[in-house]
Chain A
Amino acid sequence: MKRQKTGLESSFSFFDLLCEEIVFSILDFLDENPLDKKSFSLVCKSFYAIESRHRKTLKPLRSEHLTKILNRYSSVTILDLSLCPRITDVSLNVISSSCKEMLRSINLSRSKIFSHVGLSNLVMNCANLVEIDLSNATELKDLAASAIAEAKNLERLWLVRCKSITDIGIGCIAVGCKKLRLLSLKWCLGVGDLGVDLIAVKCIDIRSLDLSYLPITNKSLQSILKLQHLEDLVLEGCFRIDDDSLAAIKQGCKSLETLDMSSCPNVSHVGLSSLTIGTGSLRQLILSYGSPVTPALADSLQKLSVLQCIKLDGCQVTCSALMAIGNHCVSLRELSLSKCLGVKDEALSFLVTKHKDLRKLDITCCRKITHASIAQITNSCTSLTSLKMESCTLVSGEAFVLIGQRCQFLEELDLTDNEIDDEGLKSISRCSDLSSLKLGLCLNVTDEGLILIGSRCSKLKELDLYRSAGVTDSGILAIARGCPGLEMINIAYCKEITDNSLISLSKCPKLNTLESRGCPLVTSLGLAAIAVGCKRLMKLDIKKCHNIDDTWMIPFAHFSQNLRQINLSYTSVTDVGLLSLASVSCLQSMTIVHLKGLTARGLEAALLACGGLTKVKLQSSFRSLLPKALFEHLEARGCVFQWRDKMLQAELDPKCWKLQLTDME
């Protein structure tokens, strides 16, 4: 592609013949890798101009350059500022004056510096705003809400954790933004029944409503349920809603498709059945961390004829209840029983025989189930695409062979902390669609199994080998060769891993997350190879890789321009290495605890040089060594400091992690 373009450029008169629409449609195909568009725009001035006009979405890292980039990208409609920690009123003024009516969506979810003045300016100038995310703007008050209310075309609004907004502000929004379809008021603790009630009265187009953790009662719930188009309702942690208050509800919401009542311990099957009267189209029901699941609850689900998904995470479950669910619910597609107490072989086996269409099953931490359950699951639910069974420690190794034999459509498989061995892996390698495989704490897994996985599961994107001590370079090599689309790999505490693994992983161009904690054999050489090969690397964790020093830093800082997050604790990196990181302009989060070669002056210089830092974890001894003014300056730039006062820990045997987990039962 690139070569073609350079060919065109040499005879630019030809290029003039290409109309803009054609180039635009070419550019539409360059979505996969953000760097492609960059290269395109660097070809020539006209390409640059075309690319500028083509771009619709911007996600800048720094607010300082907003003026420039907004001048360049004149047709931006979606502005995601969630990576900028400090958007001020000035920045908002810049945005509003340059984007004007073009802007349709803005995400301000990470900064709390701006005020109602900037918002009001933004809303006035950008009349076509459809989507605003103001999450975490904890300082915003009702005045800001009334400013938002001027956005008459607003359809989607997130106000998560806007704790200072009260009913009055929500009332303004309800009256002003009549076209609202999605509203999230999660953690808006100042909002009560009155505000929510008014939303239900005024914004009749609402499709999705998140009222998690609001102190609302059945008063406002009644009017919410009268909304004609409501599809998605989240009532997580609404502690004031209980059976008694729900009893007053005569008619549930007909259009409701998803209902989340997790963490509502006061709502039992009684309340649920009154809430679901007439809700014929309910597809998804989330009752996690609620009252115990009883057969009566299962009975109340009987009326929900199109129910497809039930999540009962963390609930107390009885055998009879599970059997009742098996008998009463038709054609479940998704079932989550993670961390449920009381799930046993008998009930689970019965349940899965009734729901043969299950696509997703989560039985994480159902510690009592054994081989029998897995045999039944694999026998009936052959079309499973996702199976999560972390810490099902009683399941024997043979069961995993069955998984590979019978569930060949699996895309996601979480076998963390299980007894799976190479035989099992060999069988699982038949699941050619597998994209995510988690084998953390699987001590019986060796290279042999991994080589088979690598050779057959070419679609693998995510591989977790945390503390799977049997894995060495050859296994990783096979994965790196067989899975070119690998995006995330965790080889933490696989002590046999050397630079060779990293060198082979550097052939995976899409790798964005590499965790190689506690791999003592890994050196700067391997990391340098990663830096050169994996340009999209965003997260790097090399904690406790003692042999890593400054030498990799210079190529790394040069090539890995996308790095956002790095953990350098317990490595041999010094001032020089840290300082060279400053050229990584995307770097936002840095953890540097127990760096022996680090001095206060070096740290100071590095902190000052890394302009985009938002989060830094430091050893608490530096707190007194560095000047206060420095911290104040950095905090003003939007950086948050976390202090760690941990002593050096002796490395634990990987097996003791397993023992600890089993002891917990």
Chain B
Amino acid sequence: MDPDERQSAKAWTPSGNDVLKNLSMDNQSFIDFGLQQKWEDCSYLGYQSRIEQGFSKFSHQSENSSSVDGSSNSQSKIQGRQDSRMQEASNSNKMPDWDPKGMLSNLSFLEQKIHQLQGLVQLIVGRRGQVENQSNELLVQQQQLIIADLTSIIVQLISTAGSLLPSAKHTLSSVSPYVPQFRQFGGSMVPSGTNASSGGGLPQNTVNKVEDQSQEIDLTGHHGTEQNFAVEEHEMKDEDDGEEGENLPPGSYEILQLEKEEILAPHTHFCTICGKGFKRDANLRMHMRGHGDEYKTPAALAKPHKESSSEPALIKRYSCPYVGCKRNKDHKKFQPLKTILCVKNHYKRTHCDKSYTCSRCHTKKFSVVADLKTHEKHCGRDKWLCSCGTTFSRKDKLFGHIALFQGHTPAIPMDDSKGSAGTSDGLQSSEAVNKIEQLDFSAQSNIPSGSCFENVMDGKGSVDDPVNYFSPLNFDPSNLSGYQEFPRPSFEDSESSFSFLLSGSAQYDQKSGRYSGPVI
């Protein structure tokens, strides 16, 4: 428990019962708390932005971050599902080296706070009754104050409760040896992202690929570092229909067939608490951590298949719902699809319109975004042209083609006659980079807006908005070191502090997503 926090808690206690009368005092404490919160977020950010830090510090920060995560936990408490889970979590996370005395004091502190909460809620209930008597403005003001108090108490509750759980600290520190390694990945990526406009964007793509892979590997165990690379919504292309060679005897596997609507749905994994959709279950699991400490246990974070793998489970294979398709189970030579992702890509590629057009050549069309991205990386670089109009990315392929066919000749690019082939090429490629950047960006910004957190607010907006002025989570991200260089898409202002609380966790996801994505 932070001494700071305790102090602020003490300062808060006397004013607890009569919040309205001791506004100034309360404000003071709130500001204190807010400041502290700011510090927390600072460190939290430090963790995210992979500024090289000491080992111990890192774990310490993660403790703090877990306390912030708890804030969203309390949100769900209001929804009425909290208590039991809290207990579960605390039960499941018993660690040998915790201080019973500190625990006791923390618990008594929690008790106090809960009493305060009760008082406040009663106050609100009481006010509801008097609505007719008072002018609207005053009512709104008072309600705001109450809500602000409510928020601060909840936050304190959560942070204290969080410190009761030593488990978070341990889970994080156990995986932290891998962290620096991945930090380096990120580190190499960040400069490339910021330099992208000056034409250095090509390596970035490869970095993304690598990152993707690391993400894949990561899912199995190192969930602690997961957040570094969390939501790169880039489907793996090579997972496609790649099981041609697989020869499972029919009947040895279970055939699943998804409906068309299911296949075309943007998300397959949904948060049971808030309803947000994800393309990958790993990302969902990462998201779930924001809903409470019970989701941070190794068991909760582990890949679900892992657990069931001990039992002799039937192999799952998928069938395409399109009748007549070779991938449809009714087809004579049915060839099943391996994963859901394969189903998706197969269905889109084979049975859907190609709605994504390459922004460079305006001719090639794709139905899978990943295919478009892959193409755009290479589009325009097929500079080896045959007289028949076929283009090749490699010179030897062109010459092989010419050697094979009668009458085909290598075609000379037109800019060859102008003599500045080199420079124009350079221009083109930098253009290409810019375009890819733009595309990536739009893809990135689409994701949050498509999710249920549409009303996530910008931290900056909260400063100007008087509604949230007293919110303890009222931090200004522009003050945070190392963050302002990453411009973020603007989000709509939220209307309540509760949603803001939620947005804190959502923004967390978003930040990390932003982080792993290319930055313009």
Residue of A nearest to B384 (CB): A168
A194→B408 contact, CB < 8 A:
no
Q: A175-B409, A176-B409 are in contact. Are A198 and B416 (CB under 8 A)?
A: no
One digit per residue, 1 when the CB lies within 8 angstroms of any chain A CB and 0 when it does not, for chain B 254-282 equals 00000000000000000000000000000
Does A231 belong to the interface (CB within 8 Å)? no
Does A124 belong to the interface (CB within 8 Å)? no
Q: List residues 185-213 of chain A with CB under 8 A from any CB of chain B.
A: 194-195, 197-198, 201-202
Report the number of A-B residue pairs with Cβ-Cβ less than 8 Å.
Answer: 42
A143→B416 contact, CB < 8 A:
yes
A194→B416 contact, CB < 8 A:
no
Does B402 belong to the interface (CB within 8 Å)? yes
B416→A175 contact, CB < 8 A:
no
Residue of B nearest to A169 (CB): B412
When distances are taken between beta carbons in the complex, the residues of chain A under 8 Å from B140 are none
Distance in angstroms between the alpha carbons of A421 and B215 in the assembled complex? 91
One digit per residue, 1 when the CB lies within 8 angstroms of any chain B CB and 0 when it does not, for chain A 147-183 equals 0010000000000000000011101100110000000
Q: A142-B412, A143-B416, A143-B417 are in contact. Are A175 and B407 (CB under 8 A)?
A: yes
A162 to chain B, nearest CB (A): 15
B399→A198 contact, CB < 8 A:
yes
What total of chain B residues lie within 8 Å of the partner, measured CB to CB? 13
When distances are taken between beta carbons in the complex, the residues of chain B under 8 Å from A197 are 399, 403
Q: A167-B395, A194-B396 are in contact. Are A172 and B403 (CB under 8 A)?
A: no
B411 to chain A, nearest CB (A): 8
Residue of A nearest to B395 (CB): A194
Q: List residues 395-432 of chain B with CB under 8 A from any CB of chain A.
A: 395-396, 399, 402-403, 407-410, 412, 416-417, 419
Q: List residues 115-169 of chain A with CB under 8 A from any CB of chain B.
A: 116, 141-143, 146, 149, 167-169
Distance in angstroms between the alpha carbons of A81 and B494 in the assembled complex? 84
Distance in angstroms between the alpha carbons of A149 and B410 in the assembled complex? 11
B486 to chain A, nearest CB (A): 44
Among A146, A149, A194, contact of B399 (Cβ-Cβ < 8 Å): A194
Q: List residues 347-406 of chain B with CB under 8 A from any CB of chain A.
A: 395-396, 399, 402-403
A163 to chain B, nearest CB (A): 14
Among B403, B408, B412, B417, contact of A168 (Cβ-Cβ < 8 Å): B412
When distances are taken between beta carbons in the complex, the residues of chain B under 8 Å from A168 are 410, 412
Among A116, A141, A176, A202, contact of B403 (Cβ-Cβ < 8 Å): A202
Distance in angstroms between the alpha carbons of A146 and B399 in the assembled complex? 15
Distance in angstroms between the alpha carbons of A194 and B416 in the assembled complex? 19
When distances are taken between beta carbons in the complex, the residues of chain A under 8 Å from B396 are 194
B348 to chain A, nearest CB (A): 38
When distances are taken between beta carbons in the complex, the residues of chain B under 8 Å from A172 are 409-410, 412
When distances are taken between beta carbons in the complex, the residues of chain A under 8 Å from B409 are 146, 149, 171-172, 175-176
Chain A interface residue bracket vs B: 10 to 19
A119 to chain B, nearest CB (A): 13
A143→B412 contact, CB < 8 A:
yes
Distance in angstroms between the alpha carbons of A202 and B406 in the assembled complex? 9
Distance in angstroms between the alpha carbons of A149 and B407 in the assembled complex? 12
B310 to chain A, nearest CB (A): 53
Distance in angstroms between the alpha carbons of A248 and B387 in the assembled complex? 33
When distances are taken between beta carbons in the complex, the residues of chain A under 8 Å from B407 are 175
When distances are taken between beta carbons in the complex, the residues of chain B under 8 Å from A146 are 409, 412
Residue of B nearest to A223 (CB): B403
When distances are taken between beta carbons in the complex, the residues of chain A under 8 Å from B419 are 141
Distance in angstroms between the alpha carbons of A116 and B416 in the assembled complex? 12
B399→A175 contact, CB < 8 A:
no
B150 to chain A, nearest CB (A): 74
Among B399, B402, B416, contact of A141 (Cβ-Cβ < 8 Å): B416
Distance in angstroms between the alpha carbons of A146 and B395 in the assembled complex? 17
A171→B399 contact, CB < 8 A:
yes
A576 to chain B, nearest CB (A): 47
B412→A175 contact, CB < 8 A:
no
A175→B417 contact, CB < 8 A:
no
Residue of B nearest to A141 (CB): B416
Residue of A nearest to B409 (CB): A175
Q: A141-B417, A143-B417, A175-B407 are in contact. Are A167 and B412 (CB under 8 A)?
A: no
B398 to chain A, nearest CB (A): 8
A328 to chain B, nearest CB (A): 39
One digit per residue, 1 when the CB lies within 8 angstroms of any chain B CB and 0 when it does not, for chain A 327-352 equals 00000000000000000000000000
Q: A172-B409, A176-B409 are in contact. Are A142 and B403 (CB under 8 A)?
A: no
Distance in angstroms between the alpha carbons of A376 and B335 in the assembled complex? 85
When distances are taken between beta carbons in the complex, the residues of chain B under 8 Å from A149 are 409
When distances are taken between beta carbons in the complex, the residues of chain A under 8 Å from B410 are 167-168, 171-172, 175
Distance in angstroms between the alpha carbons of A142 and B417 in the assembled complex? 9
When distances are taken between beta carbons in the complex, the residues of chain A under 8 Å from B408 are 175
Distance in angstroms between the alpha carbons of A290 and B416 in the assembled complex? 38
Distance in angstroms between the alpha carbons of A167 and B398 in the assembled complex? 11
A79 to chain B, nearest CB (A): 26
Q: List residues 199-248 of chain B with CB under 8 A from any CB of chain A.
A: none
B328 to chain A, nearest CB (A): 45
Distance in angstroms between the alpha carbons of A167 and B403 in the assembled complex? 13
Distance in angstroms between the alpha carbons of A56 and B332 in the assembled complex? 77
Q: A141-B417, A143-B417, A167-B395 are in contact. Are A198 and B412 (CB under 8 A)?
A: no
Query: Which of A116, A146, A175 counts the most B-chain CB atoms under 10 A from its CB?
Result: A175
B395→A175 contact, CB < 8 A:
no
A142→B402 contact, CB < 8 A:
no
When distances are taken between beta carbons in the complex, the residues of chain A under 8 Å from B417 are 116, 141, 143
Distance in angstroms between the alpha carbons of A167 and B412 in the assembled complex? 11
Among B395, B399, B416, contact of A142 (Cβ-Cβ < 8 Å): B416
Query: Which of B403, B410, B412, B416 counts the most A-chain CB atoms under 10 A from its CB?
Result: B410
Distance in angstroms between the alpha carbons of A142 and B385 in the assembled complex? 13
B45 to chain A, nearest CB (A): 53
Distance in angstroms between the alpha carbons of A201 and B399 in the assembled complex? 11
B399 to chain A, nearest CB (A): 4
B224 to chain A, nearest CB (A): 51
Distance in angstroms between the alpha carbons of A201 and B406 in the assembled complex? 11
When distances are taken between beta carbons in the complex, the residues of chain A under 8 Å from B395 are 167, 194
B435 to chain A, nearest CB (A): 27
Distance in angstroms between the alpha carbons of A155 and B10 in the assembled complex? 101
B383 to chain A, nearest CB (A): 10
B329 to chain A, nearest CB (A): 48
A171→B416 contact, CB < 8 A:
no
Residue of A nearest to B412 (CB): A142
Distance in angstroms between the alpha carbons of A176 and B411 in the assembled complex? 12
A201 to chain B, nearest CB (A): 5
When distances are taken between beta carbons in the complex, the residues of chain B under 8 Å from A198 are 399, 402-403
B445 to chain A, nearest CB (A): 43
Distance in angstroms between the alpha carbons of A619 and B403 in the assembled complex? 55
Distance in angstroms between the alpha carbons of A488 and B416 in the assembled complex? 48
Query: Which of A116, A168, A194, A195 counts the most B-chain CB atoms under 10 A from its CB?
Result: A168
B295 to chain A, nearest CB (A): 58
Distance in angstroms between the alpha carbons of A167 and B417 in the assembled complex? 16
B54 to chain A, nearest CB (A): 53
Distance in angstroms between the alpha carbons of A202 and B408 in the assembled complex? 11
Distance in angstroms between the alpha carbons of A168 and B396 in the assembled complex? 11
Query: Which of B395, B399, B417 counts the most A-chain CB atoms under 10 A from its CB?
Result: B399
Distance in angstroms between the alpha carbons of A129 and B416 in the assembled complex? 26
A145 to chain B, nearest CB (A): 8
When distances are taken between beta carbons in the complex, the residues of chain B under 8 Å from A202 are 403
When distances are taken between beta carbons in the complex, the residues of chain A under 8 Å from B416 are 141-143
Residue of A nearest to B404 (CB): A201
B residues lining the A interface (CB < 8 Å): 395-396, 399, 402-403, 407-410, 412, 416-417, 419
Give 4 closest A-B pairs by Cβ, nearest first: A171-B410, A194-B399, A175-B409, A168-B410
Q: List 13 A-B contacts (CB under 8 A).
A: A167-B410, A168-B412, A171-B402, A171-B409, A171-B410, A172-B409, A172-B410, A175-B409, A175-B410, A176-B409, A197-B403, A198-B403, A201-B403
Can you name 10 extra interface pairs (CB under 8 A) apart from A141-B419, A175-B410, A194-B395? A142-B412, A143-B416, A143-B417, A169-B412, A175-B407, A176-B409, A194-B399, A195-B399, A197-B399, A201-B403
